[in-house]
Amino acid sequence: MSDDQKPIDRRRFFRQGLRELLKPLAQAAEPLNEVVRQLNQLDKFGSAAADPYHSPAAPLPVQEHWHRPPGALPEKQFMETCSRCGQCERVCPAQCIRIDHSGRRGNGVPFIDVDAMPCVLCDGLACMQMCPSGALRKTPIEEIDMGTAVWNEHLCVRSRGVECTICIDNCPIGTDALSLQDNRVHVNEDHCTGCGVCQNKCPTNPKSIVVMVKSARLGEAEL
């Protein structure tokens, strides 16, 4: 072997020896890394549990049914009758009614995103009065049916000892629709209009009370 090869062989020898010396340390570090990972997960869980208004994030559901304005015809008729003129959107004092003419949201006809702004059941219910096509029927407030509120007890802070009544306090219909019974939120389906104020005002994330829109409740197919 020539002299110029000896330094290379020596370096290779020392590198291999160093690997053998460090191998037990690397193996010992693996379980420690796993412990650190699990502690980090517990810390994240503990941080979420410490805040009663926030639960671990859940995947967003696919939107299949849309919240329609008050007085809307059944879904199929509504889609066929609505002229997409935008009059209901223009006259809504709460500015909760939206039309996405691209069709990506609401299938191109009026809808309400209650998380952004719910229907407040305004005086006069202008959207119904001004609808030129009849897609929104003039309906007495006590007969309005946009959907039905559903209370999810396991998400509500009341289940963790917090005396929250925000949904009840803000309901436009009052205790006829939402009330407290045996320390639980009770939805009176005969009087709930599905306006979405309770969902909008609910402070938890995900929402403890949400509106099942009429088309979903009746099992009407998405068009």
Domains of the chain, each with CATH number or no CATH: 75-217 (3.30.70.20)
Residue 112 has pLDDT above 70, yes or no: yes
pLDDT confidence bin for 221, thresholds 50/70/90: very low
Q: Tens digits of per-residue pLDDT, 27-76?
A: 555 555 554 455 455 454 444 455 667 766 555 455 579 999 999 999 99
Q: What percent of the chain has pLDDT over 90?
A: 67
CA angle in degrees (0–180, nearest 5) for 170-143-175: 30
Residue 219: predicted pLDDT: 82
Window from 11-25, 88-102, 159-173 with minimum mean pLDDT? 11-25
